[in-house]
Amino acid sequence: MSEQDDSRPIDVRIMEIYDELTASERRLAAVVMESQNNLASFTAGELAAKASISNATAARFFKRLGYASYNEARVMARQSEDWGSPLYELTGTGGKRLSAGDFGLHIAQDLQNLTRTAEMLGENEIERAVAMLAGAKRIWILGFRNSMALATYARALLVNLKPDVRLIPAAGMSMGEELAGMGPEDLFLVFGFRRRPAQLRDIMAAVQKAGTPILLIADMTAARTAQLATLTLRCHNRGHALFDSYVAPMSLINYLCSTTSQVLGEAAVDRLAEIEELHSALDQLGAPLVTRKLPKA
């Protein structure tokens, strides 16, 4: 692909070469990814100052990403609202004003998020995440603000597969009480979609210090939190209008948990069968979802 034809968004370019970046370039990458929604409003010097690097380093960084200059990156960032967007293809404007007829455009944006997430996540990353989930003795799950809904959904699925899955913090409990006792055999599954409270980094640093692997599922702007994670899976979550979309992370959670069940095999089948028997015994007023034991295969 020539530079002239290269219309990849800047977040995708960064992630493709992230492992090759120097420490100073990674600082700039973090600044860029956290500012990507309004990148066009910054000068190269302002970004360099925020990352505590020289203007020359910043210039080399954008050339490594495939841009002729930072100015080209700014122009493409300004146009990214329209670039490759189903909204633009359908309306020619990419506008954000909603009407009763915009539901199809809302769905089109979700489809774009799903497609771009699938294109970005590698098979090796998915396999590593599944191995972490399947191999953990205990799983702690955390999410603040909108991420709490994702954390709750992940716990609802994983508790069907493994006996010790905890959504933290429990009502009335402090994070110190919840984190005590974590170890290398456990897993900390954290959802870090924007806006992330500063406390999240402190919590992740404490978990990292305990030697517990951290699986972070986040949006494209996560930078400093990603540096503390053992593995980070990123999802595109741009919304058609006012709110971000969480269709891609919800789909990813579903896939990770479904694949984890296959890895666990008989252990997952036995636990599901036990749960269904308990549903039948305890829910006398409602019909059970499954009236027979699951096949052991």
Q: Please report, for the domain that includes residue 55, its CATH number.
A: 1.10.10
Give the pLDDT of residue 170.
Answer: 84
Do residues 207 and 182 lie in contact, with contact meaning Cβ atoms separated by under 8 Å? yes
Looking at this protein, which amino acid is placed at residue 37? N
Report the domain count for the chain.
Answer: 3
Whether pLDDT at 85 is above 50: no
- 99 pLDDT tier (thresholds 50, 70, 90): low
* Strand positions, DSSP E, the chain: 139-143, 165-167, 187-192, 214-218, 231-234
Whether 124 and 218 map to the same domain: the answer is yes
Whether 226 and 213 map to the same domain: the answer is yes
Boundary (domain end) residue, out of 97, 117, 137: 117
Q: Please report, for the domain that includes residue 175, its CATH number.
A: 3.40.50.10490
Whether 161 and 241 map to the same domain: the answer is yes
| Beta bridge partners of residue 218, listed in sequence order | 192, 234
- Residue 120 belongs to what H/E stretch? helix 103-120
CA distance 131 to 124: 10
Cis geometry, peptide bond prior to residue 169 (ω within 30 degrees of 0): yes
Best-predicted range by mean pLDDT (25-34, 35-44, 82-91, 134-143): 134-143
Decide if 197 is inside a domain: yes
Give the pLDDT of residue 173.
Answer: 80
Whether 97 and 144 map to the same domain: the answer is no
CA distance 108 to 86: 6
Pair of tokens at residue 76: 């493409």
Give pTM, 2 decimals. Answer: 0.71
DSSP code per residue over 232-282:
EEE-----SSSS---HHHHHHHHHHHHHHHHHHTHHHHHHHHHHHHHHHHH
Whether 125 and 9 map to the same domain: the answer is no
Whether 66 and 162 map to the same domain: the answer is no
* Structural domain boundaries, residue 63: 3-79
Whether 188 and 199 map to the same domain: the answer is yes
| CB-based contacts of 206, cutoff 8 Å, min separation 6 | 179
Do residues 33 and 223 lie in contact, with contact meaning Cβ atoms separated by under 8 Å? yes
| CB-based contacts of 127, cutoff 8 Å, min separation 6 | none
Pair of tokens at residue 41: 């409003």
Boundary (domain end) residue, out of 64, 97, 117: 117
- 134 pLDDT tier (thresholds 50, 70, 90): very high
Helix, strand or coil, per DSSP, at residue 28: helix
Task: Please tell me which residue, 244 or 295, carries the higher pLDDT value.
Answer: 244
Decide if 91 is inside a domain: yes
Whether 132 and 14 map to the same domain: the answer is no
